[in-house]
Protein backbone atom coordinates (compact mmCIF):
# COMPACT_ATOMS: atom_id res chain seq x y z
CA UNK A 1 0.00 0.00 0.00
CA UNK A 2 1.13 3.53 -0.75
CA UNK A 3 2.27 4.94 2.63
CA UNK A 4 0.85 8.33 1.65
CA UNK A 5 -2.63 6.76 1.52
CA UNK A 6 -2.44 5.23 5.00
CA UNK A 7 -2.69 6.54 8.54
CA UNK A 8 0.26 6.45 10.90
CA UNK A 9 0.24 6.39 14.68
CA UNK A 10 3.38 7.50 16.48
CA UNK A 11 3.97 6.69 20.14
CA UNK A 12 7.10 8.34 21.47
CA UNK A 13 8.77 8.21 18.05
CA UNK A 14 7.75 4.65 17.16
CA UNK A 15 5.63 4.51 14.00
CA UNK A 16 2.74 2.14 13.38
CA UNK A 17 0.94 2.10 10.04
CA UNK A 18 -2.77 1.36 9.99
CA UNK A 19 -2.49 -0.19 6.52
CA UNK A 20 -5.90 1.40 6.03
CA UNK A 21 -6.41 3.26 2.78
CA UNK A 22 -8.22 6.47 3.61
CA UNK A 23 -7.51 8.05 0.21
CA UNK A 24 -10.40 6.24 -1.43
CA UNK A 25 -12.79 9.18 -1.77
CA UNK A 26 -14.95 7.90 1.10
CA UNK A 27 -15.57 9.35 4.56
CA UNK A 28 -13.91 7.33 7.34
CA UNK A 29 -14.42 7.37 11.09
CA UNK A 30 -11.03 6.19 12.34
CA UNK A 31 -10.04 5.46 15.92
CA UNK A 32 -6.67 4.33 17.24
CA UNK A 33 -6.19 3.04 20.79
CA UNK A 34 -2.97 2.34 22.67
CA UNK A 35 -2.23 1.12 26.18
CA UNK A 36 1.08 1.29 27.97
CA UNK A 37 0.19 -2.03 29.61
CA UNK A 38 1.58 -4.54 27.11
CA UNK A 39 1.71 -1.93 24.36
CA UNK A 40 -1.69 -3.14 23.14
CA UNK A 41 -3.07 -1.16 20.23
CA UNK A 42 -6.02 -1.26 17.86
CA UNK A 43 -7.24 0.56 14.78
CA UNK A 44 -10.95 0.92 14.09
CA UNK A 45 -12.59 1.92 10.82
CA UNK A 46 -16.21 3.06 10.90
CA UNK A 47 -16.76 1.64 14.39
CA UNK A 48 -15.34 -1.84 13.75
CA UNK A 49 -11.95 -3.32 14.67
CA UNK A 50 -9.66 -3.17 11.64
CA UNK A 51 -6.28 -4.27 13.01
CA UNK A 52 -4.80 -5.04 16.46
CA UNK A 53 -1.47 -5.89 18.01
CA UNK A 54 0.74 -5.57 21.06
CA UNK A 55 4.27 -4.63 22.11
CA UNK A 56 4.11 -0.99 20.96
CA UNK A 57 6.18 0.97 23.50
CA UNK A 58 5.07 -1.34 26.31
CA UNK A 59 5.56 0.29 29.71
CA UNK A 60 6.03 3.79 28.31
CA UNK A 61 3.88 6.71 29.42
CA UNK A 62 2.81 9.85 27.63
CA UNK A 63 2.92 12.97 29.76
CA UNK A 64 1.13 16.26 29.18
CA UNK A 65 2.64 19.35 27.68
CA UNK A 66 3.66 17.84 24.34
CA UNK A 67 2.66 18.53 20.77
CA UNK A 68 0.00 16.69 18.79
CA UNK A 69 0.33 16.98 15.04
CA UNK A 70 -2.56 15.97 12.79
CA UNK A 71 -2.38 15.58 9.04
CA UNK A 72 1.34 16.17 8.72
CA UNK A 73 4.35 13.99 9.45
CA UNK A 74 6.99 16.00 11.25
CA UNK A 75 10.63 15.15 10.75
CA UNK A 76 11.71 16.77 14.02
CA UNK A 77 9.82 17.34 17.26
CA UNK A 78 7.87 20.56 16.86
CA UNK A 79 8.74 21.21 13.24
CA UNK A 80 10.64 20.48 10.04
CA UNK A 81 7.48 19.80 8.05
CA UNK A 82 7.76 18.43 4.52
CA UNK A 83 4.82 19.60 2.37
CA UNK A 84 4.89 16.32 0.42
CA UNK A 85 3.95 14.51 3.66
CA UNK A 86 0.85 16.62 4.34
CA UNK A 87 -2.71 15.34 4.43
CA UNK A 88 -4.74 16.04 1.33
CA UNK A 89 -8.26 15.86 2.70
CA UNK A 90 -10.19 16.92 5.77
CA UNK A 91 -10.17 16.10 9.47
CA UNK A 92 -13.15 16.77 11.67
CA UNK A 93 -14.33 15.58 15.04
CA UNK A 94 -10.88 14.80 16.47
CA UNK A 95 -11.15 13.66 20.09
CA UNK A 96 -8.60 12.41 22.61
CA UNK A 97 -9.24 10.34 25.74
CA UNK A 98 -7.05 9.68 28.77
CA UNK A 99 -7.89 5.98 28.67
CA UNK A 100 -8.39 3.22 26.12
CA UNK A 101 -11.95 3.04 24.83
CA UNK A 102 -13.62 -0.37 24.63
CA UNK A 103 -14.87 -1.67 21.28
CA UNK A 104 -18.43 -0.83 22.38
CA UNK A 105 -17.40 2.75 23.24
CA UNK A 106 -15.68 3.20 19.85
CA UNK A 107 -18.87 1.99 18.14
CA UNK A 108 -20.91 4.45 20.25
CA UNK A 109 -18.67 7.36 19.20
CA UNK A 110 -18.99 6.25 15.56
CA UNK A 111 -22.78 6.32 15.90
CA UNK A 112 -22.97 9.59 17.90
CA UNK A 113 -20.54 12.31 16.84
CA UNK A 114 -21.53 14.44 19.86
CA UNK A 115 -19.48 12.22 22.21
CA UNK A 116 -16.24 14.07 22.91
CA UNK A 117 -12.94 13.12 24.47
CA UNK A 118 -11.99 13.95 28.06
CA UNK A 119 -8.54 15.32 27.13
CA UNK A 120 -9.54 17.07 23.90
CA UNK A 121 -12.97 17.38 22.33
CA UNK A 122 -13.61 18.87 18.91
CA UNK A 123 -16.94 20.59 19.48
CA UNK A 124 -17.51 22.24 16.12
CA UNK A 125 -21.01 22.49 14.68
CA UNK A 126 -21.62 20.71 11.41
CA UNK A 127 -22.00 23.24 8.60
CA UNK A 128 -24.67 22.68 5.98
Q: Distance of CA 91 to CAs 50, 52, 88, 102, Å? A: 19, 23, 10, 23
Count of other CB atoms within 10 angstroms of residue 18: 18
CA distance 67 to 56: 20
Name the class of domain 3-121: mainly beta
Count of other CB atoms within 10 angstroms of residue 42: 19
Q: What is the pLDDT along the chain (128 residues), one digit of tens a residue?
A: 455 556 788 888 888 888 888 888 889 999 999 999 999 999 999 999 999 999 999 999 988 877 788 888 777 777 788 888 888 888 888 999 999 999 999 999 999 988 999 988 887 544 44
Supply the pTM of this predicted model. 0.83
CB 54 within 8 A of CB 43: no
Amino acid sequence: MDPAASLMLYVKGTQLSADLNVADGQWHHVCATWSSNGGNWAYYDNGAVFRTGSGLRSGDTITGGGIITLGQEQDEVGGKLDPTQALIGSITGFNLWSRVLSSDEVAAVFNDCSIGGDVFSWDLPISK
